[in-house]
């Protein structure tokens, strides 16, 4: 029997990358993202039910797209909190430590398995709550936080509302994600998406006036008019023609996709940014998080085996500590293991 052909260079060259681009004739910037092994690694840390997997996949893809648009020195995070069965979705995007290094991304969700409804749409299981973008540029800076309500029918719509409401920047996301199998390979998660963002010279919208979106939230229609509005509408109509398999790939290169969609808009691409799964947890960070507790508090956390345990929600790393080394009354700095 002839063995299956391995994936071609085209099929793997753009895995786990974010490609910045610009449409010169429309004054629109954008990103094309592909998350393949990275997303598979994120979801492989957990045994999430299908609706939760879909929400985490969407949030991770959004995080990769948004994180690459910010002049980021350290970390961008998304936090989605609701009163439905899916209580929390949290993601982090860490900027590359140096030129040429990959950005790192991680994601995690908390949910009430007993309340999940497999027949309902994943987004509906968040319920009422908020979508937050947090930017932390590191030591010596004040973190930024922008919050908008859960609305619009998808996390992608929430992200678009965030940019319209908080930044007054018309922004559109077109995403696709799911499990697929390359010829001769194992089934794995793949995801792809396009982000468009128009940078207007001035915005007619005034904070506090309310908008035409759900619950009075701003939309692109409240921000744009004239030529900018026409450019934005035209680019969005072109993006509407994209097919799911084109977004995910793997045989369609992002550069070819941009030419197919926007060849009349003058697309120009820049250097692609590699993205990898990464977690920053460590024994020292766990110990630091427990430094606010007294010895009495630490005693309540100590197991019958005489240790304090902690698990990373993002990567599943398991830590064990001598209780005497924890809290602000710690006796020493030993006894931790991963």
- Sign of the C-alpha dihedral computed for residues 133, 137, 138 and 140 taken in this order: negative
Please report the DSSP string for 225-284 in residue order: -HHHHHHHHHHHHHHTT--HHHHH-SSS-HHHHHHHHHGGG-EEE---EEEEE-----HH
Cβ 105 vs Cβ 60: under 8 Å? yes
Segments of the chain scoring below 50 in pLDDT: 1-11, 202-208
Domains of the chain, CATH where assigned: 14-277 (3.55.30.10), 283-325 (no CATH)
Tell me the whole-structure pTM to 2 decimals: 0.86
- What SS3 state is found at 35? strand
pLDDT digits (tens, 9 = 90+) for 75-86: 999 999 999 999
The pLDDT score that the predictor gives to residue 196 is 97
Q: Which two tokens stand for residue 220?
A: 């692109």
Question: What is the spatial distance between Cα 139 and Cα 46, in angstroms, rounded to a whole number?
Answer: 31
The pLDDT score that the predictor gives to residue 111 is 97
Question: What is the spatial distance between Cα 173 and Cα 202, in angstroms, rounded to a whole number?
Answer: 22
The pLDDT score that the predictor gives to residue 331 is 76
Question: What is the spatial distance between Cα 284 and Cα 49, in angstroms, rounded to a whole number?
Answer: 32
pLDDT digits (tens, 9 = 90+) for 228-268: 889 999 999 999 999 998 998 778 899 999 999 999 999 99
Closest CA relative to residue 191, chosen from 202, 207, 180: 180
Question: What is the spatial distance between Cα 131 and Cα 88, in angstroms, rounded to a whole number?
Answer: 10
Residue 102 CB neighbours (<10 A)? 17
């Amino acid at each position: 029997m002839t063995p299956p052909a391995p994936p071609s260079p085209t099929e793997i060259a753009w895995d786990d990358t974010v490609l910045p681009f610009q449409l010169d004739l429309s004054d629109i910037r954008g990103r094309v993202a592909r998350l393949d092994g990275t997303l598979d690694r994120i979801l492989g840390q957990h045994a999430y039910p299908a609706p939760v997997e879909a929400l985490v996949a969407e949030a991770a893809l959004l995080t990769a797209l948004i994180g690459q648009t910010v002049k980021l020195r350290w970390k961008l995070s998304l936090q989605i909190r609701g009163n439905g069965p899916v209580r929390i979705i949290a993601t982090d995007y860490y900027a590359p430590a140096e030129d040429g290094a990959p950005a790192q991304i991680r994601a995690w969700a908390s949910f009430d398995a007993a309340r999940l409804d497999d027949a309902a749409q994943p987004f509906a299981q968040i319920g009422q709550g908020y979508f937050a973008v947090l930017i932390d540029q590191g030591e010596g800076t004040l973190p930024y936080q922008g919050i908008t309500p859960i609305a619009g029918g998808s996390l992608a719509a929430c992200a678009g509302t965030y940019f319209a409401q908080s930044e007054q920047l018309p922004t559109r996301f077109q995403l696709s994600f799911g499990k697929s199998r390359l010829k001769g390979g194992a089934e794995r998660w793949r995801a792809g998406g396009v982000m468009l963002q128009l940078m207007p010279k001035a915005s007619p919208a005034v904070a506090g006036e309310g908008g035409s979106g759900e619950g009075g939230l701003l939309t692109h229609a409240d921000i744009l008019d004239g030529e900018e509005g026409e450019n934005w509408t035209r680019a969005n109509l072109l993006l509407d023609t994209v097919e799911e398999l084109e977004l995910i790939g793997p045989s369609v290169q992002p550069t070819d996709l941009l030419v197919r969609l926007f060849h009349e808009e003058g697309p120009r691409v820049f250097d692609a940014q590699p993205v990898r799964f990464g977690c920053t947890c460590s024994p020292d960070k766990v110990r630091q998080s427990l430094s606010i507790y007294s010895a009495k508090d630490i005693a309540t956390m100590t197991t019958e085996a005489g240790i304090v345990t902690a698990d990373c929600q993002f990567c599943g790393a398991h830590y064990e500590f001598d209780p005497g080394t924890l809290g602000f009354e710690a006796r020493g700095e030993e006894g931790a293991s991963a």
